[in-house]
């Protein structure tokens, strides 16, 4: 009997199959692949470039009507709640923030960015008029001292009160607001708006001690004894002097001191020619304030601007009729088109009669016979900002105002000084080697208002962990507010069912899991090349208008220049948002799927982020849904 030999002629692999092939060559077969659509949430670049960390896409989606508010809540209030999760001052920020979010907007690849801060101003103004307020969290019994009542300190107080911690704000001035009040003129930031937005925070139960300087009126040791943590938010309210010979002349002033005297109501006019050195927003504010104040030719010695500013005296009431347009010259090391000040502020200054000279640097102050600066010597610079020999010239002046940088006033807080008039901070905004101390704001490094508000939110999280004696975790790579699908599901009553955490197989129909969704928002920012830009049509921006003030009517004109958007224009502008990284319910994937595998989620189960789903029994992995998704929300991944 002979044995039967099995037939092994079938071969799964052929000669050469041991060599590596490209994965893309392996997964495609005609119009099919082994990939299926998954729904991936990423952070849009507007949020990624917002130092405050606002969920910009989220509240724009609410304004445009994509994300619906809960029953009984207006879209304005719902948008306000979403934006103030990060920033308690939307009306203020909508006016003065230079909007780095708009620079990052993917819509720039089409025609023009979304007017994010104009929509924010509309919502913020609506909230002020409607009297929207904030609520505090349950009392924790912990107390935090906050030194400084500017935007950074107040933003920390807001976030801490939401967590239930008691806060006391110590402010050296007679009123709160910091540089928003003392450094920004009222025609850019109306005082009734500032007061309303600060009032909302105080109404949460924040204790305030005005005209109290920690280190002078209250010893630091008292704070350590009476409070569980201390926040240093003293700002940077001392200007840097020009680093040139003669800059110690009495009429060489800092931009911070100049604006402080104006906003305090003490400085009412200038004399002679005013030269402002800078190029940033503060220098433009000084120049446009000087134009509005106007100059007078007959003045008593005691009323010279330097005496009013330095000696804390005040001008008597000077009638506008007695003033003439002030001769104001603004000098910048950068060319005019590259100045760091906001472009529209530079344009306004030029229209209002401010002369601007770019690519120059001051090299010396010439002192007159009376001991005051009579001329500023400058030198022209090349395109690389190097001095050009033989280009020096002397500019006549009556006042020189330097707006070239700021430092903190650390009198009484010298132990925290890093040697540069500022205070060091780690990633969690703790003060190194000072346990229980945290620092936020311009005293770390003078920057944007939006920056210090973002710092405040992170610091408040760090303080909350510190008070709970919980180790501080690693900060996210994309450290901003994100859309939270789980919170949205809870809000709409669609939260997953309870799960007993026993191992199971095949959860496609399970109600305890959120299927087919991946949240990469804390790790990834979605770029324009991941979008289907062909979906979006040209849409002209809905721009705010301005009360254009020119050199003929600038003197004594302190009315707000900016005209806010109407409700209709705010909605229309929000509609231009491309909703990068999140579904906005365009139906492209449903319409173009040849297998009818992508379907709308039933209305009873649908909400933002859960608008469509995939029937994987029908899906052949053709990639069409991902190709036609305008927002980059669909990504093909390995599936069944």
> pLDDT, tens digit, for every residue of 213-236?
999 999 999 999 999 999 999 999
Contacts of 12-15 with C-beta under 8 Å, sequence gap 24+, read: none
Q: Does residue 351 share a domain with residue 284?
A: yes
pLDDT of residue 510: 78
| Residue 495 or residue 379, greater confidence | 379
Q: What would the DSSP string read from start to end of 356-372?
A: EE-SEEEEEEEE-TTSS
Q: What angle do CA 594, 597, 599 make, to 5 degrees?
A: 110
Shared domain check, 492 and 441: no
* Nearest-5° Cα angle at 56, 89 to 126: 45
Instruction: With respect to residue 216, please indicate whether it lies within any of the assigned structural domains.
Output: yes
Which residue in the block uniquely carries the two structure tokens 């608008």? 611
**φ, ψ (nearest 5 deg) of residue 350:** -65, -45
424, 327: one domain: no
Q: Are residues 149 and 289 in the same domain?
A: no
> Any idea what the CATH number is for the domain that residue 230 is in?
3.50.50.60
| Residues 148 and 248 grouped into a single domain | no
How far is residue 270 from each of residues 35, 315, 363, measured CA to CA in Å? 71, 10, 24
Question: pTM score, two decimals?
Answer: 0.89
On the question of pLDDT at 390 being above 50, the answer is: yes
- Please tell me the predicted confidence (pLDDT) of residue 505: 75
Domain interval for residue 358 = 239-405
458 and 377 co-located in one domain: no
Asked whether residue 179 is assigned to any structural domain, the reply reads: yes
> What are the angstrom distances between the C-alpha of 251 and each of 178, 273, 282, 311?
25, 12, 18, 12
| CB neighbourhood size of 566 (10 A) | 11
Q: Compute the average pLDDT of residues 398-408.
A: 94
Residue 553 confidence (pLDDT): 87
| 176 plus 247 within the same structural domain | no
Give, to the nearest 10 degrees, the angle between helix 116-130 and helix 567-575. Answer: 140
Last residue of a domain, one of 357, 388, 405: 405
Angle value at C-alpha 491, between 486 and 494, nearest 5 degrees: 65
Do 416 and 400 lie in one domain? The reply is no
Average pLDDT over every residue of 340-355: 92
90 within a domain of the structure (yes/no): no
Locate tokens 């030029």: which residue? 350
pLDDT of residue 531: 94
Q: Which of 387, 405, 423 is the last residue of a domain?
A: 405
Which segments of 503-566 does DSSP mark as H helices, in order?
none
pLDDT in tens, 405-462: 999 999 999 999 999 999 999 999 999 999 999 999 999 999 999 999 999 999 999 9
**324-328, 342-346, 391-395, 465-469: segment of lowest average pLDDT:** 324-328
Q: What does the alpha-carbon distance between residue 261 and residue 253 come to, in Å, rounded to a whole number?
A: 11
Domain boundary among 371, 405, 439: 405
Tally of structural domains, the chain: 3
At 321 the pLDDT is: 42
* Domain co-membership, 371 together with 330: yes
**pLDDT tier, 546 (very low <50, low <70, confident <90, very high otherwise):** confident
Percentage of the chain beyond pLDDT 90 is: 76
Q: Is residue 563 included in any domain, yes or no?
A: no
Q: How sure is the predictor about 541, in pLDDT bands with cuts at 50, 70 and 90?
A: very high
For residue range 258-279, what is the model confidence (pLDDT) as tens digits?
999 999 888 888 888 999 999 9
Tokens at 465, concatenated:
């962990």
62: in domain: no
The verdict on residue 601 lying in a domain is: yes
Structure confidence at residue 130 (pLDDT):
97
Distance of alpha carbon 62 from alpha carbon 74, whole angstroms: 10
Residue 558 has pLDDT above 60, yes or no: yes
> What is the distance in angstroms between the CA of the first residue and the CA of the last residue of the chain?
48
Three-state SS string across 425-487, please? CCCCCECCCCCCEEECCCCCCCCCHHHHHHHHHHHHHHHHHHHCCCCCCCCCCCCCCCCCHHH
> Are 305 and 431 members of one domain?
no
Assess if residue 114 is contained within a domain: no
Q: How far apart are CA 634 and CA 640, in angstroms?
A: 17
* DSSP of 205-238: T-EEETT--BTTTB-HHHHHHH-SEEEE-----E
Residues 186 and 300 in one domain: no
**pLDDT tens string 290-335:** 999 988 776 666 667 777 777 666 665 555 445 677 899 999 999 9
Please tell me the predicted confidence (pLDDT) of residue 640: 44
Whether 156 and 221 map to the same domain: the answer is: yes
Average pLDDT, the chain: 90
- Residue 316 has a pLDDT of 58
Residue 153: enclosing H or E segment and its boundaries?
A: helix 151-162
CB atoms within 10 A of CB 164: 15
Give the pLDDT score at 30: 57
Q: pLDDT digits over 131-153, tens only?
A: 999 999 999 999 999 999 999 99
The H-or-E segment that residue 291 falls in is: helix 281-293
Is 549 within the bounds of a domain?
no
Instruction: Spell out a b/e string for 103-141, using b for 16 or more CB atoms within 10 Å of the CB, else e.
Output: ebbbbeebeebbbbbbbbbbbbbbbbeeebeeebeeeee
Distances in whole angstroms, Cα of residue 587 to Cα of each of 2, 60, 487, 488, 617: 68, 20, 24, 21, 20
- Alpha-carbon separation of residue 410 from 216, 407, 424 (angstroms): 11, 9, 13
Considering only residues 410 and 7, tell me which one the structure prediction assigns the higher pLDDT. Answer: 410
Task: Provide the pLDDT for residue 298.
Answer: 61
Q: What is the mean pLDDT of residues 42-60?
A: 96
Taking residue 473's Cβ as centre, other Cβ atoms within 10 Å add up to 10
Whether the per-residue pLDDT at 1 is higher than 50: the answer is no
Q: What is the CATH number of the domain that holds 635?
A: 3.30.70
pLDDT tens by residue, 149-188: 999 999 999 999 999 999 999 999 999 999 999 999 999 9
Tokens 């007061």 sit at which residue?
195
CA-closest candidate to residue 345, choices 423, 285, 258, 294: 285
């Amino acid at each position: 009997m002979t044995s039967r030999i099995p037939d092994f002629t079938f071969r799964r692999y052929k000669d050469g199959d041991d060599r590596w092939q490209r994965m893309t060559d392996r997964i495609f077969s005609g119009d099919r692949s082994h990939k299926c659509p998954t729904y991936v949430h990423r952070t849009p670049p507007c949020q990624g470039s917002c130092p405050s960390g606002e969920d910009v896409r989220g509240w724009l989606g609410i304004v445009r009507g994509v994300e619906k508010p809960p029953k009984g809540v207006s879209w304005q209030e719902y948008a306000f709640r979403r934006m103030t999760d990060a920033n308690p001052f939307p009306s203020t920020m909508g006016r003065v923030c230079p909007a780095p979010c708009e620079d990052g907007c993917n819509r720039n690849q089409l025609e023009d960015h979304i007017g994010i801060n104009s929509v924010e101003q509309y919502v913020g103004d609506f909230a002020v008029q409607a009297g929207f307020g904030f609520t505090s969290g349950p009392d924790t019994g912990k107390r935090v001292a906050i030194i400084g009542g500017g935007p950074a300190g107040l933003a920390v107080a807001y976030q801490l009160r939401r967590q239930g911690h008691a806060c006391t704000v110590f402010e050296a001035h007679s009123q709160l607001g910091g540089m928003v009040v003392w450094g920004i003129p009222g025609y850019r930031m109306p005082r009734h708006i500032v007061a309303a937005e600060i009032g909302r925070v105080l109404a949460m139960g924040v204790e305030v001690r005005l005209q109290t300087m920690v280190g002078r009126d209250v010893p630091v040791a008292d704070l350590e004894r009476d409070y569980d943590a201390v926040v240093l938010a003293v700002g940077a309210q001392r200007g840097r002097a020009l680093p040139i010979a003669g800059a110690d002349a009495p009429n060489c002033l800092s931009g911070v001191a100049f604006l402080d005297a104006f906003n305090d109501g003490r400085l009412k006019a200038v004399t002679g020619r005013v030269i402002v050195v800078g190029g940033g927003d503060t220098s433009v504010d000084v120049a446009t304030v000087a134009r509005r104040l106007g100059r007078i030719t007959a003045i008593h010695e005691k009323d010279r601007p330097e005496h009013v500013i330095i000696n804390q005296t005040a001008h008597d009431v000077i009638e506008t009729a007695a003033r003439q347009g002030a001769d104001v010259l603004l000098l910048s090391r950068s060319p005019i088109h590259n100045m760091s000040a906001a472009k529209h502020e530079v344009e306004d200054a030029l229209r209002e009669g401010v002369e601007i000279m770019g690519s120059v640097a001051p090299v010396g102050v010439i002192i007159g016979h009376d001991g005051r600066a009579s001329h500023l010597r400058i030198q022209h610079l090349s395109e690389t900002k190097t001095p050009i020999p033989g280009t020096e010239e002397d500019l006549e002046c009556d006042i020189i105002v330097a707006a070239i940088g700021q430092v903190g006033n650390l009198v009484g807080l010298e132990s925290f000084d890093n040697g540069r008039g500022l205070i060091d901070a780690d990633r969690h905004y703790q003060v190194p080697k000072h346990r229980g101390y945290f620092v936020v704001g311009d005293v770390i490094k003078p920057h944007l208002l939006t920056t210090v508000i973002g710092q405040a939110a992170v610091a408040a999280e760090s303080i909350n962990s510190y008070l709970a004696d919980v180790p501080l975790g690693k900060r996210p790579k994309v450290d901003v507010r994100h859309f939270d699908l789980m919170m949205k599901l809870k809000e709409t009553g669609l939260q997953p069912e309870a799960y007993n955490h026993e191992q199971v197989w095949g959860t496609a129909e399970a109600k305890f899991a959120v299927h087919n969704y991946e949240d990469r928002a804390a790790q990834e920012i979605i770029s324009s090349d991941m979008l289907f830009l062909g979906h979006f049509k040209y849409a002209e921006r809905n721009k705010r208008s301005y009360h254009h003030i020119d050199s003929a009517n600038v003197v004594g004109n302190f009315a707000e220049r900016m005209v806010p958007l109407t409700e209709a224009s705010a909605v229309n502008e929000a509609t231009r948002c491309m909703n990068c990284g999140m579904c906005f319910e365009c139906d492209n994937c449903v319409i173009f799927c040849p297998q009818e595998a992508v379907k709308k989620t039933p209305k009873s189960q649908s909400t933002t982020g859960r608008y469509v789903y995939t029937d994987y029994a029908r899906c052949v992995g053709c990639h069409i849904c991902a190709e036609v998704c305008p927002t980059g929300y669909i990504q093909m991944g390995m599936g069944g």
